[in-house]
A = this chain, B = another copy of it.
Amino acid sequence: MAGKLDLDPRVVREARALAARAGQPVVDLARSHTTVSVERAVLRLAGVRGADQDGIPWVNRLVDAVRADVGLEHGVAVPVFHAMRATGVDDVTVLAQKAAAGAVRFGVPLKKADVTAARRMARKATGDGLRTIDRRRAERERMIKRYGDPAQRPWIYLIVATGDILEDIPQAQAAARAGADVIAVIRSTGQSLLDYVPEGATREGFAGTYATQENFRLMRAALDETSKELGRYVRLTNYASGLCMPEIAALAGLERLDMMLNDSMYGILFRDINPIRTFVDQRFSRQVHARAGIIINTGEDNYLTTADAVEAAHTVTVSQLLNEFFAHEAGLADWQLGLGHAFEINPELPESFRLELAHALLARELFPDAPLKWMPPTKHMTGDVFRGNLLDGFFNLVGALTGQGILLVGMMTEAVVTPWLSDRDIALQNVRYVLTGAGNLHEDFVPAPGGFIQRRAHAVLAEAVDLLKRIEGDTLLNAIADGTFGIMKRPADRGKGLDGVAKHAEDYYNPVTEALES
């Protein structure tokens, strides 16, 4: 596939080097801070389960209690396991319940031996959690070996979004039977701003279903059944982004989700979450994904819903390079990088289709080993569902012509409702037609040397390099504050969840990070 654009390898190398330099300060920030959600993720891996009668997870109650007593800056692992030893409680959830009742005090032990002992216990407990994640990963690999991967690329990715896990399940199974390789359960609109992960099976989401460990489990079990029935491993996706990225990443690992929406900047830009909070959370969550063998999906497509897809094309490229850098740094391999981009150019624009081809091919050739995630038209979809199905067909064609890895299937009702059962069926029929009839057309698609498509790709890459230079000079945080991405201005000292961030103390300890970085 590579080579159709005749990109200059030096320019590509320069772009990567710039992204690394622009990203490094943020990595340094992430390595020197923790957040309430990172600490809760640690405790979830250590075994804290369940919620109080108001639905507040015990893990939140426990971290709040620790924080109240000693702050976050030491990490919660040592205070918590020290308290376990001190109180003789041997179940972390019970400890959390006692702590919530005010029956436990937390402190950082002064004696080195106590610290060592607490650390050892913490290591062991979280090690159990990580081992479960490892088992899930092995399980996935076994099932893929048994049932097989999809026969074709791109993988076909479908959304369910009823708000009710019990409606979602049959719809997801029907979608898989109809040809979906990946099912994503969209999240209820409010969830990403909740600073806790809801509990249990849920039936009351708005335009999506809550991401909970139990919902993950139910859907994965249902899709395992369907995988067996179909003789094809059906992947499950959910969303990490939001105030609870680290925890949701942990839960996803524990319940064998296969892909997670996880963007380094989405929460900042589109949920007004504090930048520092997000950067810390995303790093930890990606380390967990790396361990779990989960493929991440980044969110560059979103920029093109608020910014113009032609003007802002290079911001997508810049963001992909940054996401790649952060992902590699967190330990993710290229096959785990579902970098996002989208078919969002105004269809009235002359040459719109060729511009789409240029942008999609640029991404393909910049990231030859990543399973790029190709997102359908949304912004220029209207209530004209007949036209909508047509646009989706041309979107599918770009996907096939440029070798995209994951095709998020567009719905003709994009501008109307969250997808109906029949919308998915019509959409899949559309994908099938295009892949069957024109799946190999890429052999005959050879952008003219020096022609429109090559020129456009080169221009976007050049703009991306320019922008990266500016970002490197001025810092990524300032660039985000200035509205560089998606025209959303997000200063580093604003946004939700900042109060959940703490700078590491000298003695900060996190057994999970330790294990994941070893």
Binding site for B on A (CB under 8 A): 347-354, 357, 384-387, 389-391, 393-394, 397, 412, 426, 429-430, 433-434, 436-438, 440-441, 443-448, 451-453
Contact = CB atoms under 8 A, between A and B. Distances in A.
A437 B390 contact: no
Given A354-B441, A393-B394, A440-B354, A386 B426 contact: yes
Nearest to A385: B386
Given A352-B437, A386-B412, A437-B352, A445 B445 contact: yes
Nearest to A427: B386
A448 B444 contact: yes
B390 A433 contact: yes
Given A386-B386, A444-B451, A354 B394 contact: no
Contacts of A350: 436-437
A360 B225 CA distance: 46
Contacts of A426: 384, 386-387
A390 B389 contact: yes
A311 B11 CA distance: 50
Given A353-B434, A440-B452, 14 more contacts: A347-B437, A350-B436, A351-B437, A352-B437, A353-B441, A354-B437, A385-B386, A386-B426, A390-B430, A390-B433, A394-B434, A394-B437, A444-B446, A446-B448
A437 B348 CA distance: 7
A435 to B, nearest CB: 10
Given A390-B393, A448-B444, A451-B443, A438 B385 contact: no
Contact of A443 (B384, B391, B436, B448): B448
Contacts of A385: 386
Nearest 4 CB-CB pairings of A with B:
A353-B437, A353-B438, A352-B437, A390-B393
Nearest to A435: B350
A51 B391 CA distance: 52
A448 B438 CA distance: 14
Contacts of A354: 437-438, 440-441, 444
7 contacts: A347-B433, A350-B437, A354-B440, A384-B429, A386-B412, A443-B451, A446-B446
A377 to B, nearest CB: 11
A387 B393 CA distance: 10
Given A437-B352, A444-B453, A451-B443, A429 B389 contact: no
B445 A444 contact: yes
Contacts of A429: 384, 387
Contacts of A352: 436-437
A281 to B, nearest CB: 40
A512 to B, nearest CB: 48
B447 A444 contact: yes
A444 B357 contact: yes
A347 B434 CA distance: 9
A347 B433 CA distance: 7
Contact of A436 (B348, B433, B446): B348
Contacts of A447: 444
Given A352-B437, A393-B393, A452 B443 contact: yes
B387 A430 contact: yes
A262 B224 CA distance: 61
A391 B434 CA distance: 10
A444 B433 CA distance: 22
A353 to B, nearest CB: 4
A444 B377 CA distance: 23
Contacts of A436: 347-352
Nearest to A396: B390
